[in-house]
Every structure is written in structure tokens, then in C-alpha cells.
Amino acid sequence: MDESTEREFTEFVATRGFALVRMAYALTGEQHAAEDLVQTALAKAMLRWSRIRGDAESYLRKVMYHEHVSWWRRRWRRAELSTADPPERSAVDDDPHLRLAMRAALATLPPRQRAVLVLRYFEDLSEQQVADLLGISTGTVGSQASRALAALRRRLPDLNGTEVRR
């Protein structure tokens, strides 16, 4: 990698790194796992930077989702639990109790359902975009989202009809 390409990659990581960690945290529910996931995706992206530089963020998201699926398939990765403090909250966190309840409920969902919810509602992607990223059909996206939302409604009955801000 030449010096200008390395500088470009470093600038990308500096500007988009926090957003990538936030997205990874939404997927994993654990700060350290999120950081590991981003680090793995960035290592893969760096090797292909000259080919992906124009569409790097979507490439990284796809790598992170696929890596996350691979990690939860390997049960030994799930044996570790993070004990670090949760990440800093942003200024838009109006109700910390609501956020904690939502995170706890999300953590109980199967990884594919959580990935679908994160992509559809946190990342605001269409069903087709989610299907393309995860390599599944749009019908599967819809059914997984429906099941996940139903499970969240059962676990958090007080939130029915309440809009949760990102």
C-alpha cells in the first residue's frame, strides 16, 4: 500500500470508525466484541482498499454482518462476556432505562433476527438491501423482522405503541 492510499484509509477510519463501532455494538451487544468485529472488518478492507475505496462503508458493513454470523455459529466465541462499562451515551439518549431495557431485549434475540432489525431500523436499509447484505431472500427479511418485533413486544409490553429514537 503506497503512502497516499494508506493516508486515505487512515482518514476513512478516523472519520467513520465511531459509526462502525456503534453499528457493531448494536449487532453484538458487547463493546469488546464490537471493537473486535470492526477491527476484523478493517483488516480485510485494508487489503482491498484500492478496489473498494469508493464504496468502502457498504463493503465494511457487509463484512461485519457476515463475520458476526460466523462468530455466533462458533459457540466458543459466545463463552466470553464483556465486563467493561457500556459505551458512552449520545446526547439523544433521553431515557436511559428505556435504552437499557431495549438493549437487554435485543440481546435475547437470535443473531440473524438482531442483524435484520439493526439493518432495517438502525441503519434504515430497505428489505432488498438487507437481503442482499445477508445473502437471504426479502421474504426471509420480512419474516425475521416480524418475529423479532413480536418477541420484543412480548418482552417489553410497556413499549407497544412507543416510538424509540436511535
Q: Residues 116-155: pLDDT tens digits?
A: 998 898 888 899 999 988 889 999 999 999 999 999 888 8
Closest to 26 measured CA to CA, from 112, 92, 106, 93: 106
More confident residue, 67 or 165: 67
pLDDT digits (tens, 9 = 90+) for 62-107: 899 888 887 665 554 445 555 566 555 543 356 777 778 888 888 8
Count of residues making up the chain: 166
The single residue listed with the C-alpha cell 418477541 is 151
The end-to-end CA distance of the chain, in Å, is 37
Nearest-angstrom CA–CA distance, 145 and 115: 9
**What is the mean pLDDT of the segment spanning 24-53?**
90
pLDDT at 102: 82
pLDDT at 19: 92
pTM beyond 0.85: the answer is no
Q: Which CATH architecture has domain 1-80?
A: Orthogonal Bundle (1.10)
> Is residue 56 pLDDT above 70, yes or no?
yes
pLDDT category of residue 13 using cuts at 50, 70 and 90 = very high
Give the least confident one: 13-17, 37-41, 54-58. Answer: 54-58
Nearest-angstrom CA–CA distance, 91 and 69: 31
CATH 1.10.1740 intervals, the chain:
1-80
CATH 1.10.10.10 intervals, the chain:
94-166
131-140, long-range: CB < 8 A, 24+ apart: 133/61, 133/62, 133/65, 134/65, 134/69, 135/66
CATH fold for domain 94-166: Arc Repressor Mutant, subunit A (1.10.10)
User: According to DSSP H, which parts of the chain are helical?
Assistant: 3-28, 31-47, 49-52, 56-73, 96-107, 111-117, 127-134, 138-155
